[in-house]
Structure 1
């Protein structure tokens, strides 16, 4: 017989064989034993977590006449036929290649016929999110009211692409990623059964490289077995997965955190010469930085993820490295990862990354590794950097208080007395309010209407969802405050985000293109800080009071004895037209 891959040979045949999905398997077994089987199920989750295997086990269990405690016997003819894929009453369909309306209509027509051998006819539709809209509509009625002897099992890795009308008609089970420790236990069991020599550290490397997928873990293990001639060693596992040894990774991180660019570049060169994958190297760095940061708050989580292989060097480095330094490193790694996707020279990006990380280590106070010849640090010595930073902060705050006192004294002096010195000038320039382009704002205010603003506010959430994650983070604390056919004014809660958005032409283009798709017009967008918006609005209304008076409509039928203030004052009328009556608050002097 031809060789079969490990993930096919060791595919689970019973619910108890499934790894890491105890809640789902227990629920399905109880439903079978109590005869509370639903007519439709949705199995959703990452790849390689057991969705299709669970569907086949469920198909066997409900059709097996010898099942015990919800488990199929795997010995009767029905179980064997389903396992071999030869039972006509269990139909497995790949929606990726059968996603048209005609295929689903064929199912809808055949579902009316009773099963030939089994008790239930089971349709397993894999990657169901690939179905077209017409195919989903064709499936909808059958899925809602199928014949009594038909069961649908839908499997998908992207449940958000499935219409809500389908999801509301099925029982949904979310498969979670399999923990590295569970993958490790399963692989060691398989290797023991095959009587293969293996290194524990090598299997742990494969378990972590699988990223929660049991099928991926077994595929990598199969590849490592072929590479090592039926022997699993650490070197072979590192070569197959493209990972970097823990010691080399730790040395690289210590060097960049210590600001030693020369040694870090030499270590990087060793990594590249060994043929390691550049993207895998950056992923390992992100994971290592994440573990350093997480170990400061929840050590037990890191120890569980690393399966008890946390060394003393790692613990010491985690204690010495400030959290702000790790934040900066992870942000830089994330940026480089995105840029490396579109380059054919990843080594150049890794060298630039090394220089930037070393600069972060020098400027943000990463503690260098303690030389072996020095005496062990005392608690007072460990607290010294923190104490020094606190002292510097207190000194800076005291200096700012002194400056404010001088400013108050100058304001209290007579107006004729000119101050001899202006020590607060640098402080004023540092906190200067951001400039606003009134030349772009005033034309929008001149023709703004409440109806246009309401239209923009309705589509604003959808517009933000169309942006990238980074752009959405900037625009999350913004909202449109005025709109016209000539443009839109968007206010930001924070000035620094306003400044960032103003300088980001790509963000502006994305917003204008999004508005063009949603409202049919590419409206120019102008940004303003929220704290300056009331002043800008008031100044505009005051400056155009005469113009608004000529536009006023004093003859409105509001009652002659007690006309409202909005009718009597054209400025108020225009303000209500621009921003709505629920926003304008009229106060008499």
Structure 2
């Protein structure tokens, strides 16, 4: 029996035949029994959950010659005609191919006439979200003032695409995914009626693979029956559906558990040679670790694991992973799965994801490794490492707080001295000397000064910065691929000028600028700049407000002295015109605007 024949043979003919939608069936039967049938219904839910079947059963129930009845008899001419599709008053329309205003206008013109064969005219519009805006407007008029002999049943998998005006005029029913137990029971019944032998594990696997859609489950059952011949086995069902066998899962999981990256590549290559897709392998592997996690957190829940036959071996595998590590691995696999949708080489990305899992440090393992996976220095216990890490985190938080409060942190001084200098009004920005862009003498984050802006102002909107702007998106992407944390800070900056093989990037946030200026981050960015432009390019940074002031004022007064802070090459101290110093003493760093009356 072909899939179409098998599906038609087991397509629900009465409400009693439907699986997993008891709440909807009961509501519809009560409405028919009490003569409270609405003029418009909206059936929405995942594919294969019985929306169109329920619509046809409802059409038969209200038009049954022995009714209206809560269950159609399926024996009278009306029921048989609606089942066969020969009753002209019950119309099923596919909105995906009939989505225009002309088709809806045709319906609007015909609903005025009374039904000729049955009691009600029933219009079943499948995939109704595909209608155009004009078609929805035409349908809305009919739904507002419907004739008493017409019933509209709208079916869709995406109700959020329907206009609220349409939804508000319909009784809405949400079809749910069919549970694993109900699907397995129905598949078992089909096998008994059709004389098909099937293993219980195979039926559970097919039910889980259909993701709650009974129609998909019947299709996979027929496909597995055609492949297996006399008997449907778990191995046959796995092979015909392109899944992974339990043994293959176990080998991959063992390699990840033992951090054996060398064993991962041959296993993945074997899967690819067997015709498995990298995307499907990634999806199934996430499910596998999800099942391990559920077994650890809720061992009494009886979590269904369709890929595992040997339950004792599965529990042994779960004991080999900590809960924290499973959480981290699932998160890593999920991120790589999102990237695989646009990857040209999904197999390579799958291999990289598995090798990443092999190299992940245990989240709570500090006895031999630090938080970033580096080996802890010999002679230090795990408690000492944790204590030092907490001290560093506390100092970083204090430093960030000082920066947010406008206090400049220096490499050699303490916070109190910096605060006193700020309170005295004698603001000395860029107190640390800088031999070149990006290298601060003090070593602290706050010691980063402001570069000389005159060359950059002179080169404003030049050819060099235009070339950099054209390829800035490519540079950001390469930085992201190299180290995503550096990209998170650099993306806040905008390239504003370029001069002397140096690109000037303006930042809105002081914290983002200071983090970008860290030696390791600066070195990585300049390496990427070199690879993008095929020549050494330096990085200079400035705060956006400082750059705007310099570019608007031309960075020069009539005397030719720059308003921006200059660095004395010999002493390393900051110098500015005397009148600027007096202005800073009076107003500090705040911008003051003077207006004449």
Q: TM-score range by the shorter chain?
A: 0.5 to 0.7
Contact 1:121–1:149 (CA under 8 A) maintained in structure 2 = yes
Q: 1:189 to 1:366 in 2, by over 3 A?
A: farther
Say yes or no: does 1:119 pair with 2:135.
no
Q: 1:153 to 1:324 in 2, by over 3 A?
A: same
Equivalent residues in 2 for 1:243-282, closer than 5 Å: 243-282=243-282
What root-mean-square deviation, in Å, do the aligned CA atoms of Structure 1 and Structure 2 show? 4.5
Normalized per residue, the structure richer in helix is 1
Residue in structure 2 matched with residue 351 of structure 1 by the alignment: 351
Paired with 1:125 and 1:212, the residues of 2 have a C-alpha distance of: 23
Q: 1:287 to 1:429 in 2, by over 3 A?
A: farther
Q: 1:87 to 1:392 in 2, by over 3 A?
A: same
Residue in structure 2 matched with residue 528 of structure 1 by the alignment: 508
Q: CA deviation at 1:330?
A: 2.9
Paired with 1:28 and 1:530, the residues of 2 have a C-alpha distance of: 63
Q: 1:81 to 1:308 in 2, by over 3 A?
A: farther
Q: 1:409 to 1:176 in 2, by over 3 A?
A: same
Q: CA deviation at 1:194?
A: 1.2
The Cα offsets for residues 288-341 of structure 1, whole Å up to 9 and x where unpaired, read as 122233444444556156599682443344454344433443344334434444
Paired with 1:183 and 1:340, the residues of 2 have a C-alpha distance of: 31
Equivalent residues in 2 for 1:392-471, closer than 5 Å: 392-397=385-390, 411=416
Q: CA deviation at 1:150?
A: 0.2
Paired with 1:298 and 1:190, the residues of 2 have a C-alpha distance of: 33
Contact 1:197–1:231 (CA under 8 A) maintained in structure 2 = yes
Equivalent residues in 2 for 1:58-137, closer than 5 Å: 58-67=58-67, 70-137=70-137
Paired with 2:491 and 2:591, the residues of 1 have a C-alpha distance of: 35
Across the two proteins, how many residue pairs are aligned to each other?
Answer: 451
Paired with 1:127 and 1:105, the residues of 2 have a C-alpha distance of: 18
Q: Residue 259 of structure 2: SS of its match in structure 1? A: coil
Residue in structure 1 matched with residue 291 of structure 2 by the alignment: 291
Equivalent residues in 2 for 1:426-575, closer than 5 Å: 499=489, 501-502=491-492, 528-529=508-509, 571=592
Residue in structure 1 matched with residue 537 of structure 2 by the alignment: none
Residue in structure 1 matched with residue 14 of structure 2 by the alignment: 14
With 124-133 and 298-307 compared, the bigger mean Cα shift is at: 298-307
Paired with 1:265 and 1:120, the residues of 2 have a C-alpha distance of: 64
Equivalent residues in 2 for 1:144-159, closer than 5 Å: 144-159=144-159
Residue in structure 2 matched with residue 373 of structure 1 by the alignment: none
Q: CA deviation at 1:149?
A: 0.7
Residue in structure 1 matched with residue 163 of structure 2 by the alignment: 163
Q: CA deviation at 1:366?
A: 8.6
Residue in structure 1 matched with residue 26 of structure 2 by the alignment: 26
Contact 1:129–1:158 (CA under 8 A) maintained in structure 2 = yes
Q: 1:433 to 1:496 in 2, by over 3 A?
A: farther
Equivalent residues in 2 for 1:308-347, closer than 5 Å: 311-342=311-342, 345-347=345-347
Equivalent residues in 2 for 1:134-283, closer than 5 Å: 134-283=134-283
Task: Give 1 or 2 for the bigger CA radius of gyration.
Answer: 2
Paired with 1:174 and 1:434, the residues of 2 have a C-alpha distance of: 59
The answer for unaligned runs of 5 or more in structure 1 is: 368-387, 416-425, 444-470, 475-494, 506-524, 547-568, 575-589
Q: 1:136 to 1:230 in 2, by over 3 A?
A: farther
Q: Residue 207 of structure 1: SS of its match in structure 2? A: helix
Q: 1:402 to 1:170 in 2, by over 3 A?
A: closer
The Cα offsets for residues 348-397 of structure 1, whole Å up to 9 and x where unpaired, read as 3333333222222x565799xxxxxxxxxxxxxxxxxxxx8666423533
Contact 2:74–2:80 (CA under 8 A) maintained in structure 1 = yes
Q: Residue 211 of structure 1: SS of its match in structure 2? A: coil
Contact 1:5–1:222 (CA under 8 A) maintained in structure 2 = no
Q: Residue 502 of structure 1: SS of its match in structure 2? A: coil
| Length-normalised TM-score, structure 1 | 0.65
Q: Residue 389 of structure 2: SS of its match in structure 1? A: helix
Paired with 2:265 and 2:93, the residues of 1 have a C-alpha distance of: 51
Q: 1:402 to 1:291 in 2, by over 3 A?
A: same
Q: Residue 5 of structure 1: SS of its match in structure 2? A: helix
Residue in structure 2 matched with residue 579 of structure 1 by the alignment: none
Q: 1:209 to 1:366 in 2, by over 3 A?
A: farther
Q: CA deviation at 1:24?
A: 1.4
Residue in structure 2 matched with residue 50 of structure 1 by the alignment: 50
| Length-normalised TM-score, structure 2 | 0.64
Contact 1:177–1:213 (CA under 8 A) maintained in structure 2 = yes
Paired with 2:494 and 2:224, the residues of 1 have a C-alpha distance of: 47
